[in-house]
Amino acid sequence: MLKISPLFSGSKGNCTLIRSAKVNILLDAGFGYRAIVGALAERGLAPKDIDAIVVSHEHTDHIGALPMWTKQTPTPVYAPERIADIIAQRVYFSDVNGIEGDFEVGDVTVSHCECFHDAECCFGYKFVCGADRFACVTDTGHVTEEILNFLRDAQAIMLESNHDEDMLRRGEYSYNLKQRILSPYGHLSNAQAAETLRKLSGSSVRQIILAHLSENNNNKELAFNAAVEACASCGAVEGRDVVIYVADQYKNEVTVCLD
Ligand SMILES: [Zn+2]
Ligand SMILES: [Zn+2]
């Protein structure tokens, strides 16, 4: 059994709760500490109930709460080996475990794939418990065959749908920031997410959480519609063959269950 609850998702911060029958894992802790603790309390959990924090990369929107969290609670932190030293500088009483291969947290096996992002190192993750598989890929400027294969056998995925390209191009960001976001080492657009979903047609993926939306250069309708149209173009009807959610920056009540 796996239950996935996006708590906070977007350019201002990211944190996802993944629960099995035995363990609770946070994927990233990049939002206000108090807000994360509050969201966990709404789900009957305290920080001490979290068995591991798994970090995707070193950007603040993914690790902002780590200093405060690890000062209060010595939850083990897992981060890509290549940035373990950087993460260790942001952590107080927790051990930082460098990730190189698969590892286990209780009854959950965690594997990773390489993302392409303007960070020192960025990983997407897959959480496997028995036959249940959830994969998360955000913060990548493009999707490779390796990433597609990584996502393909999951029943539920969280996929970045960061921006609408036209909104970004016409928006107020500086030229350099626009180029950064649009680059192959930036963030996935709605169209790139849609193309990814088309390529995943015929795979195990049935539940899709669109994530890491930009508040300035996207909106939920655009992201959702692009994904729905992509699935429809492959004969998959939203609500029947696939279910698509759009994660919110501030308030998420959705929990995806696999069992
Ligand atoms: Zn990032
Ligand atoms: Zn990010």
Dump pLDDT digits (tens) for 155-174.
999 999 999 999 999 999 99
Which bound ligand lies closest to the C-alpha atom of 120?
A: 1
Domains of the chain: 2-258 (3.60.15.10)
Which bound ligand lies closest to the C-alpha atom of 213?
A: 2
Cα–Cα distance for residue pair 159/151, rounded to 1 Å = 9
212 C-alpha to center of ligand 1: Å?
10
The pTM of this model reads 0.97
Structure token digits, residue 123: 């990983």
Measured CA distances, 120 to 35, 62, 93, 167, 178 (Å): 27, 13, 24, 28, 20
75 C-alpha to center of ligand 2: Å?
22
pLDDT over threshold 90, residue 214 = yes
Cα–Cα distance for residue pair 139/159, rounded to 1 Å = 9
Q: What is the pLDDT of residues 32-83, one digit of tens each?
A: 999 999 999 999 999 999 999 999 999 999 999 999 999 999 999 999 999 9
Which bound ligand lies closest to the C-alpha atom of 122?
A: 1
The residues, ordered by sequence, that sit 6+ positions from 177 with a Cβ below 8 Å of its Cβ are none
Q: Which residues are bridge partners to 25 per DSSP? A: 18, 52
Contact 37, 146 (CB under 8 A): no
